[in-house]
């Protein structure tokens, strides 16, 4: 049976329960683009157990992590506490249409290895402060078919067709690596 990349809540709760006590390092493309992030607040959507959230906490950002897996958020809070960081977490199912309505406004938003729906991308500017950075990264449209990845989980260029005009793309990256074909879209809010 093939593993579903995005999976459902039960899949991810089980996955995070079975993981050992170590945290993966931050996403390479985040590290390579870290000077573009605005100091201040950061919303990490589909944060998992916090590999990117912990990196930004270490850099002095005020981080809110959102995920639908309670087990992932428990791990994030534990990792943050071990390093004496304060992190805010919310258990939110990003498949719901109004899920971002009440999360607030942030200087930066990270969406890493999650394909945010077009409807959310069309309204994400409402959660981003003026001058803020939207960073979307994950397996992209040129990823070769494999048993772990569904086509509907791949980030497509058309996902950004209806993004608000206040968001200007400042960088697009592609990288073929051992895990597959990765893309990153970086947008700056201009107003």
Q: At what angle do helices 51-58 and 70-82 cross, to 10 degrees?
A: 30
DSSP of 147-170 = TT--GGGSB-GGGGTT--TTEEEE
Is residue 160, in this structure, part of any structural domain at all? yes
Tokens of 168: 């200007």
Q: Edge-to-edge strand order for the sheet containing 41-45?
A: 88-91, 62-67, 41-45, 106-112, 128-139, 180-189, 167-177
Using one digit for the tens of pLDDT, what is the confidence trace for 72-101?
899 899 999 999 999 999 999 888 888 999
> Given this model, what pLDDT does residue 60 score?
97
Using one digit for the tens of pLDDT, what is the confidence trace for 2-59?
334 466 666 665 666 676 777 778 999 999 999 999 999 999 999 989 999 999 999 9
Is residue 131, in this structure, part of any structural domain at all? yes
CATH number, domain at 64? Answer: 3.40.50.150
Is residue 170, in this structure, part of any structural domain at all? yes
* pTM (predicted TM-score): 0.89
Q: Is a pLDDT exceeding 80 seen at residue 146?
A: no
Is residue 98, in this structure, part of any structural domain at all? yes
Is residue 19, in this structure, part of any structural domain at all? no
Is residue 57, in this structure, part of any structural domain at all? yes
Is residue 88, in this structure, part of any structural domain at all? yes
Is residue 3, in this structure, part of any structural domain at all? no
**Which of the four pLDDT bands, split at 50, 70 and 90, describes residue 177?**
confident
The percentage of residues in the chain with a pLDDT greater than 70, rounded to a whole number, is 90
Residue 168's domain spans which residues? 40-111+118-189
Tokens of 190: 């201009």
Element (H, E) at 13: helix 9-18
Where does the chain show beta strands of DSSP type E? 41-45, 62-67, 88-91, 106-112, 128-139, 167-177, 180-189
The domain tally of the chain equals: 1
| R_g of the chain computed on alpha carbons | 16
Half-sphere exposure of 185 (CA within 13 A, CB side): 24
Asked which of 118-122, 147-151, 184-188 is least confident by mean pLDDT, the reply is 147-151
Nearest to 124 by CA among 103, 152, 139: 103
Q: How far is CA 160 from CA 21, 62, 63, 74, 131, in A?
A: 36, 27, 25, 32, 19
User: What is d(CA 113, CA 179) in angstroms, rounded to the nearest whole number?
Assistant: 12
> Given this model, what pLDDT does residue 152 score?
82
> Given this model, what pLDDT does residue 1 score?
29
The pLDDT of 182-189, averaged and rounded, is 97
């Amino acid at each position: 049976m093939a593993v579903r990349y995005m999976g459902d809540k039960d899949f991810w709760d089980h996955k995070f329960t079975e993981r050992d006590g170590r945290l993966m390092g931050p996403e390479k493309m985040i590290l390579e683009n870290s000077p573009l992030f605005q100091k201040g607040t950061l919303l990490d959507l589909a944060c998992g157990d916090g590999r990117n959230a912990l990196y930004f906490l270490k850099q002095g950002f005020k981080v809110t992590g959102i995920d639908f897996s309670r087990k992932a958020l428990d791990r994030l809070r534990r990792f943050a506490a071990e390093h004496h960081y304060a992190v805010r977490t919310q258990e939110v199912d990003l498949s719901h249409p109004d899920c971002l309505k009440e999360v607030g406004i942030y200087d930066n938003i990270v969406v890493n290895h999650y394909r945010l729906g077009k409807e959310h991308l069309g309204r994400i500017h409402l959660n981003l402060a003026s001058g803020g950075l939207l960073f979307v990264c994950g397996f992209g449209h040129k990823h070769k078919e494999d048993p772990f990845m569904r086509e509907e989980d791949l980030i497509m260029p058309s996902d950004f067709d209806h993004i608000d005009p206040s968001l200007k793309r400042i960088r697009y990256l592609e990288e073929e690596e051992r895990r597959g074909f990765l893309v990153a879209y970086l947008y700056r809010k201009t107003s």
